[in-house]
Amino acid sequence: MRARPLVVHVIDSLGRGGAEQQLVSNVLGLQDRFEALVVALGGPTHLADSLRAEGVEVHVLSAERARKAAVLSLAHRLYRKAKPKQPALFHSSLFLSDAVAGMAGRALGVPVVGTFCSLLDGRRSPGIATWKVATENALWGVAKRLHVKSIAISEAVRSDAVASLHLTRESSPVIYRGTELLTPLVGEERAAVRRELGVAPESFLVLSVGRLVAVKGHRYLLDALANRRVRAVPWTLCMVGEGRLEQPLREQAARLGISHAVRWLGKRDDVRRLMQAADVFAFPSLAEGLGVSLVEALATGLPSVVHDAPAMNEVIVHEENGLLAPLANADAFAVALARYFESPDLRDALRAGCVRHGQRFERTRSVAALGDFYADVLERWR
């Protein structure tokens, strides 16, 4: 008999997304309380090696990206993979995994829990067809009926799940995604990063991290930085991320006359290091389940300027650890940036606020809450 209950973690892939990175953090953080079997439905599998290096058993059911049409086949393969292991619990993340784990868990008579990672209300996700959102929510609702409970990564996500899928708040507790607390770089270490990025010593380093797609709202950030009041202060924008809107955004920066001050960095594996050397984090996203990079900036002691929208305003408290600007309003975003640039006292106060508020998202705190959640589910299942 096992000394520790076995949890089967099921996820669509092991790429470098926020849900995938949180799975790795949870599995490794709970090794003293729970054994783990990690099953990815398909590729990519970037994070598989880091788990295996820590002694975690990892299986990938398909070499290709998992498809919704293969849900029954994937559920059968998961069932066969898990049955000999005698798991105590399944934990799934993301839409397809919720359905696959739900069916396999039910067949094995094992409780299944899931994680809501994103907003379900299509009105908050520009560019996504309403019919598509409604269809996927209906299917997700069916899948969630196979689960005993589901974690939400923010209050906003929980509220959407309750409204869209007719769940109860009690069945969907909030456990924030956690991250490591870091401190800003100082002295030569900080200067070296800034030189590498081509940022002058007298310039504010404005960092933005996110996929270059419409919902991330980068066009509002570029418009805000072109504001006359903002341009009166020297700044350099470093954009981390890739996406189909990169060329249109480059063209927008050229039209606004700010191309010389924008660095297009693409994908980076050292985002936290960049945050440690930055002066402010600009996060103009229009809709987020929580905002992994926003949490990481906070936990690095880096104040943020963000849109005042659900989930993001759970992380950022206006004038305590950052500044909130009305949604999709470039002029208001510009005012917030200008206030930050112009006031040393405000910057100091917000940095101090980041240290206080960052504790809410400290990794060990989130992992411990998840472990207690597992224990409660297993106790109730007996």
Overall average pLDDT of the 35-63 stretch: 94
Same domain, 277 and 332: yes
Residues 205 and 319 in one domain: yes
Q: Is residue 1 part of a domain?
A: no
What is the per-residue pLDDT across 310-324, written as a single tens digit (0 to 9) for each? 999 999 999 999 999
Q: Is 207 exposed, middle or buried (0-12, 13-18, 19+ CB in 10 A)?
A: buried
- Mean pLDDT, range 118-125, rounded to an integer: 60
Q: State pLDDT tens for residues 277-290.
A: 999 999 999 999 99
**Token pair recorded at residue 352:** 């101090």
297 part of a folded domain: yes
Q: Is the pLDDT of residue 139 over 50?
A: yes
Q: 223 and 286 share a domain?
A: yes
pLDDT band (50, 70, 90) for residue 128: low
What pLDDT is recorded for position 141? 65
Going 156 to 159 to 160 to 165, the CA torsion angle's sign is positive
pLDDT at position 3 is 84
pLDDT of 377 reads 97
Ranking 71-80, 136-145, 193-202, 317-326 by mean pLDDT, the lowest is 136-145
How many separate domains does the chain show?
A: 2
Residue 17 and residue 155 in one domain: yes
Residue 381's contacts (CB-CB under 8 Å, 6 or more residues apart) are 111, 148
In this structure, are 159 and 224 located in the same domain? no
Are the CB atoms for 91 and 67 separated by under 8 Å?
Answer: no
If you average pLDDT over every residue of the chain, what do you get? 92
CB-hemisphere CA count at 13 Å for 102? 23
Question: Are 162 and 252 within one domain?
Answer: no
344 and 369 assigned to the same domain:
no
pLDDT number for residue 183? 96
Residue 120, pLDDT score: 66
Tens of pLDDT, residue by residue over 153-192, are 999 999 988 888 878 888 899 999 999 999 999 999 999 9
Q: Which of 105-119, 125-139, 229-243, 266-280 has the lowest mean pLDDT?
A: 125-139
Does the residue 11 lie in any domain? yes
Domain of residue 58 covers 6-178+362-381
Position 69 in a domain: yes
pTM for the whole structure: 0.91
Whether residue 57 is contained in a domain is answered as: yes
Token pair in block for residue 326: 């009305």
Band (138; pLDDT cuts 50, 70, 90): low
Q: Do 149 and 211 fall into the same domain?
A: no
What is the structure's pLDDT at 348?
98
What's the CA gap between 62 and 39, in Å, rounded? 10
Percent of the chain residues past pLDDT 70, beyond the cut: 93
Residues 160 and 193 in one domain: no
User: Quick one: average pLDDT of 85-110?
Assistant: 94
Q: Is residue 204 part of a domain?
A: yes
Q: Are residues 18 and 164 in the same domain?
A: yes
Structure confidence at residue 206 (pLDDT): 98
> 305 and 244 in one domain?
yes
pLDDT confidence of residue 130: 63
Query: Residue 32 in 3-state DSSP?
Result: coil
Contact status, residue 122 vs residue 114, Cβ threshold 8 Å: no
The DSSP symbol for 355 reads: H
Q: What's the burial of 212, exposed, middle or buried (CB within 10 Å: 0-12/13-18/19+)?
A: buried
Beta-carbon contacts of residue 187 (< 8 Å; ≥ 6 apart): none
CA distance 24 to 38: 9
- Any alpha helices (H) in the chain, and if so which ranges? 18-29, 48-52, 71-82, 95-108, 130-144, 155-165, 187-197, 218-225, 228-231, 246-256, 271-277, 292-299, 312-315, 330-342, 344-358, 363-381
Q: Is the pLDDT of residue 123 over 80?
A: no
Could you tell me if 34 and 149 lie in one domain?
yes
CB 146, CB 102: distance < 8 Å: yes
Q: What is the CATH number of the domain that holds 351?
A: 3.40.50.2000
Question: According to the model, what pLDDT value does residue 163 have?
Answer: 86
Task: Tell me what percent of the residues of the chain surpass a pLDDT of 90.
Answer: 82
Domain contains 314: yes
